[in-house]
Amino acid sequence: MQFIDEIMGWYQQNKRDLPWRNTSDPYVIWLSEIILQQTRVEQGMPYFNRFQEKYPAVADFAGAAENDILNLWQGLGYYSRGRNMHATAQLVMENHGGLFPTRYDDLIQLKGIGEYTAAAISSFSVNEPRAVVDGNVFRLLSRYFGIKEVINSSQGKKIFTQLANEVMNKEQPGLSNQAMMEFGALVCKPKSPDCVICPLNQDCYALKQGEIGNLPVKKKGGSSRSRYFNYVVVLKDNAVLMNKRGPKDIWENLYDFPLFETDTALDAPAVLALPEFVEIFGANVRPESVYRSAKHLLSHQTIYAQFIVIQDFNLTLAQKVNWSYIRFDDLEKMAQPKIIFSFLRNLVH
């Protein structure tokens, strides 16, 4: 039996019943694909369900307020995905008459849709013969065929995409792609693949050569940058002073607190002595309490945060357009990064 036939046979027997598999609606497929990027299925599933319920059609998504989308996205990370989706939905309304495109060449023009997502939507919705090459597919192909090309290089991507297109079942591209992805996720797993039950184990290069741990080959990413966030949490009359974050940094348009970022870790008295702090808050601030959070890992940076809590402070906010007092009751309407809503949950409850 051919490589892809084995995998599709396995898929028919073993696939998980995931809600986005029972549709050919390109909007729903798009929703699921973007939500599941960099996210495990178990973590992404409740988000997918919430989004689909709240925005059943692309017009609903396009008409939503950005803060509502980010709020629903809260905790999923990589918030630019939510913002890009909003822009994409609006473009679909304007340029495609509200009909979500299904063709690869149209999809690839849309914001936040790369080759992978365009191939997924076009093949799952209308069976366009475009191979989907995600991490699962890279791993499976690399191990079975013994390909040592670095997967996160442009040359590697080219070679793997070409091979994925060659092995794809051209009669049923959607099913073929789903099967490859599911097989990589459930059988040819990153650690401890199930080679014993794998229907490909007779001819698998990595298994025969004892190379499973070495494949696929990946170039190490750049080192992670450490950032030290000193947050000032000002509480006043059942409200807390929040900051709406600006562009060109992580968490654009999300809400955090007034922030004093430093190059090294400082204790609270040193933060209170920073000239930029004194300029706004004065020299005689007495914090009520200080909390340090566990380090927060993002893709290329590590955030070390501390929260300096101040009660009943009188502050003139005229110069600080991004700062405003938000009542505790209204906090859940404001989209916040995880590090902030975890802190607030403990503080307010």
77 by Cβ neighbours in 10 Å (0-12 / 13-18 / 19+) ranks as: middle
Give the per-residue contact string, 250-279, with ligand SF4 (x = CB under 6 A; - = no).
------------------------------
Q: How far is the CB of 139 from ligand SF4 (least distance, A)?
A: 8
Does 137 help bind ligand SF4 (rule: CB under 6 A)? no
**Stretch 186-205 residues interacting with ligand SF4 (CB under 6 A):** 187-188, 193-195, 198, 200-201, 204
Integer-rounded Cα radius of gyration of the chain: 24
Among 212, 235, 242, 344, binds ligand SF4 (CB under 6 A): 212
Q: Is residue 142 helix, strand or coil? A: helix
Residue 309 φ then ψ, to 5°: -95, 130
Q: How far is the CB of 142 from ligand SF4 (least distance, A)?
A: 9
- Cα–Cα distance measured from residue 200 to residue 167, given in angstroms and rounded to the nearest whole number: 14
Q: Judge whether 234 and 312 are in contact, CB under 8 Å.
A: no
Q: Which is nearer to ligand SF4, 144 or 257 (CB)?
A: 144
160 by Cβ neighbours in 10 Å (0-12 / 13-18 / 19+) ranks as: buried
Q: How far is the CB of 149 from ligand SF4 (least distance, A)?
A: 17
Q: Which is nearer to ligand SF4, 194 or 276 (CB)?
A: 194
CA atoms within 13 A on the CB side of 260: 25
Establish whether 276 is a catalytic residue.
no
Q: Which is nearer to ligand SF4, 113 or 188 (CB)?
A: 188
Q: Which is nearer to ligand SF4, 206 or 235 (CB)?
A: 206
Give the per-residue contact string, 48-77, with ligand SF4 (x = CB under 6 A; - = no).
------------------------------
Q: Which residues of 82-113 are buried (b: 16+ CB within 10 A; e: fewer)?
A: bbbbbebbbebbeeeeeebbbebebbeebebb
Among 28, 36, 92, 206, binds ligand SF4 (CB under 6 A): 206
Does 207 help bind ligand SF4 (rule: CB under 6 A)? yes
Which residues, including other chains, have CB under 8 Å from residue 99's CB and lie 6 or more apart?
92
Does 310 help bind ligand SF4 (rule: CB under 6 A)? no
Q: How far is the CB of 91 from ligand SF4 (least distance, A)?
A: 40
Q: Judge whether 252 and 83 are in contact, CB under 8 Å.
A: yes
Cα 228 → chain centroid:
23
- Cα–Cα distance measured from residue 245 to residue 16, given in angstroms and rounded to the nearest whole number: 39
Q: How far is the CB of 205 from ligand SF4 (least distance, A)?
A: 8
At 347, list the tokens.
């503080």
Cα 116 → chain centroid:
15
Catalytic residues, by residue number, are: 33
Kindly list the residues in this chain that would bind ligand SF4 in the complex (CB under 6 A). Answer: 140, 143-144, 187-188, 193-195, 198, 200-201, 204, 206-207, 212
